A and B are shown apart, each in its own frame.
Chain A
């Protein structure tokens, strides 16, 4: 079953506004990660949140995890043009196959 489905698929906001992306998954996880990818380039790790954590901050990023709803959100505050990118969540299942699964991503576009 597919883990890590991001929502929305695409998001356009004005520079300075906050951007929120959501990720849902299906099975219990060890941890959940968020990555950023600029067009055609390698992914950059943003933040990892463990299954026993509820919220984590890193600079302008805030990640929440709700294991009861099997969902996570990534909030980027005071967005900048440089935040334009695709954002992926990635999960590894606590049981079953030992692998990491990436969602299809949210394409974020920051308008000047």
Chain B
């Protein structure tokens, strides 16, 4: 158990809809990262937040947005969903801010868009 929790575990929704994925980092970690894992694209870094502020941005689509709240939990919002958005979405946390160091991954949310 990494100490990172993600909800929900599974999500099935239709194209055009909007969903919110939630992540609680390990106790004491200030950085939260979001990743998308699909068979064709592999594991893609989406975005990093550190202590409530956006720190680094990866391959995140404009239809996706994220935020980190004062209690350090984070949410990833996916809107206007397309079939290609079906994937595993992971959240990870670490203690550091600048740079990418040892990250602790949550169990993931499996999103299926039909």
Contact = CB atoms under 8 A, between A and B. Distances in A.
Interface of A: 30-31, 33, 35, 40-45, 48, 88, 90, 92, 98-105
B90 interface: yes
B25 interface: no
A103 B43 CA distance: 7
Given A30-B99, A42-B90, A98 B56 contact: yes
Given A40-B88, A98-B56, A88 B108 contact: no
Interface of B: 2, 4, 33, 35, 42-45, 55-59, 88, 90, 92, 99-108, 110
- DSSP class of A's interface residues: helix, strand, loop or mixed? strand
B102 A33 contact: yes
Main secondary structure of the interface of B (DSSP, over half): strand
B57 A45 contact: no
A34 B53 CA distance: 27
Given A42-B4, A43-B90, A101 B105 contact: no
B100 to A, nearest CB: 4
A88 B43 contact: yes
Contacts of B45: 99-102
Contact of B103 (A45, A98, A104, A105): A45
A81 B2 CA distance: 22
Contacts of A33: 100, 102
Given A42-B108, A99-B57, 13 more contacts: A31-B99, A33-B100, A40-B110, A42-B90, A43-B103, A92-B99, A99-B56, A99-B58, A100-B100, A102-B42, A102-B45, A105-B42, A105-B43
